Amino acid sequence: SKGAEVALAMATFLPQVVATVWINGTSFLYGNPLVYKDLRIPPIPYYIERVIFTEVGALDNSAIFADPRDPAYSASAIPVEKVRGKVLFVVGEADRSLNSKLFAELAMARMPPGSCRLLSYPGAGHLIEPPCSPLCSTSSIRG
Q: Band of the pLDDT at 136, cuts 50, 70, 90?
A: low
Domains of the chain plus CATH, in order, are 2-121 (3.40.50.1820)
Residues tagged active-site? 1, 95, 126
- 12-44 CB burial, b ≥16 within 10 A, e <16: bbeeebeebebbbbbbbbbeeebeeeeeebebb
- The structure's pTM equals 0.88
pLDDT in tens, 103-117: 999 999 999 889 999
Q: What is the pLDDT of residue 137?
A: 62
Q: How, if at all, do strands 86-92 and 19-23 pair?
A: parallel
What's the chain's Rg over C-alpha atoms? 15
Q: Band of the pLDDT at 142, cuts 50, 70, 90?
A: low
State the average pLDDT for the chain: 88
